[in-house]
């Protein structure tokens, strides 16, 4: 026994708590994967990416105990991390290949970016809050995901320096699909975005560009935080 107030039992308790957390994470991920399989998701690269990215890491300490829930959760700057099954659904619909260059508008926590980073060759993700940019960079670095670059900027302007993109994912809702993003989409490319009014139900739209024309399909009804013009002046 040591007498400095930090007996061996404290270390033991911390290890046990960490092990219990890791175990709970594994169980939640296994349950999610079972559910996704039963919903017809067969994309093994996507399912293994989900297995490799602990959602807990993308949440603040206060929210971590909810990480296994298949719901959107609050993150820093008043934003949200998407529902895991919706992250999977959107990523699946994009049919991402290992050589694709992907643009994400709305980095948020960085969770969706991490999944994209494990599936695509090159990912650029834009976020309007500096705080979220810094946190996402740290989290991606701790997972050693080097294929993702997080940019601080206004995603409504796209990111022309790396265009065109094979795939574009917008994880915040707007009244229409920004033309600049359609212009930065490669021929044969796909874009997914929630379209609709702020604070109400939006439609998740999948757009394909073929022969210079775009066609669209509505996949589901969803609820996302709004796209906001410009970068945030504070935070």
The residues annotated with a catalytic role in the active site are: 82
Phi/psi of residue 176, nearest 5 degrees: -150, 165
Provide, rounded to whole angstroms, the least separation between the CB of residue 136 and ligand SAH.
Answer: 8
What are residue 73's DSSP bridge partners? 81
Before 164, cis peptide (omega within 30)?
yes
Segment contacting ligand SAH by CB under 6 A, of 12-20, 149-157, 184-192, 195-203: 149-157
184 is a contact residue toward ligand SAH (CB under 6 A): no
- Smallest gap, in angstroms, from Cβ of residue 115 to ligand SAH? 8
Of 80, 83, 131, 147, which one interacts with ligand SAH (CB under 6 A)? 80
Helix (H, G, I), strand (E, B) or coil at 98: coil
- 145 scored as a contact of ligand SAH (CB under 6 A): no
Q: How far is the CB of 15 from ligand SAH (least distance, A)?
A: 30
| Touching ligand SAH, residues 82-121 (CB under 6 A) | 82, 105-106, 108-109, 111-112
Residue 63 in contact with ligand SAH, rule: CB under 6 A: no
Are 76 and 110 spatial neighbours (Cβ–Cβ below 8 Å)?
no
Residue 43 or 131 with smaller CB distance to ligand SAH: 131
180 binds ligand SAH (CB under 6 A): no
Closest to 181 measured CA to CA, from 110, 189, 211, 96: 189
Residue 93, SS3 per DSSP: helix
Interface with ligand SAH includes 135 (CB under 6 A)?
A: no
- Distance, CA of 147 to CA of 124 (rounded, Å): 9
Interhelix angle 84-94/44-52, rounded to 10 degrees, is 140
Choice between 5 and 78, CB closer to ligand SAH: 78
Structure tokens that stand for 215 in this block = 């066609």
How many CA within 13 A on the CB side of residue 18? 7
Return residues touching ligand SAH (CB under 6 A): 79-82, 105-106, 108-109, 111-112, 126-129, 132, 154-156, 171-172, 225, 227-229
């Amino acid at each position: 026994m040591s007498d400095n107030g930090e007996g061996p039992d404290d270390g033991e308790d911390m290890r046990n708590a960490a092990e219990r957390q890791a175990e709970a994470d594994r169980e939640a991920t296994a349950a999610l994967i079972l559910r996704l399989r039963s919903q017809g998701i067969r994309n093994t690269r996507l399912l293994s990416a989900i297995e490799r990215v602990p959602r807990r890491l993308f949440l603040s300490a206060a929210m971590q105990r909810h990480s296994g829930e298949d719901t959107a959760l609050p993150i820093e700057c008043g934003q949200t991390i998407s529902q895991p099954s919706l992250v999977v659904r959107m990523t699946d619909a994009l049919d991402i290949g290992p050589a694709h260059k992907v643009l994400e508008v709305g980095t948020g926590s960085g969770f969706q970016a991490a999944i994209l980073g494990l599936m695509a060759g090159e990912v650029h993700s834009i976020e309007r809050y500096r705080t979220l940019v810094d946190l996402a960079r740290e989290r991606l670095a701790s997972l050693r995901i080097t294929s993702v670059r997080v940019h601080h900027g206004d995603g409504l302007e796209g990111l022309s320096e790396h265009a065109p993109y094979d795939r574009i994912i917008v994880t915040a809702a707007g009244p229409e699909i920004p033309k600049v993003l359609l212009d930065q989409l490669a021929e044969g490319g796909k874009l997914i975005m929630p379209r609709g009014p702020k604070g109400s139900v939006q439609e998740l739209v999948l757009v394909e560009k073929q022969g210079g024309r775009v066609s669209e399909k509505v996949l589901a009804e969803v609820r996302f935080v709004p796209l906001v013009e410009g970068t945030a002046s504070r935070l």
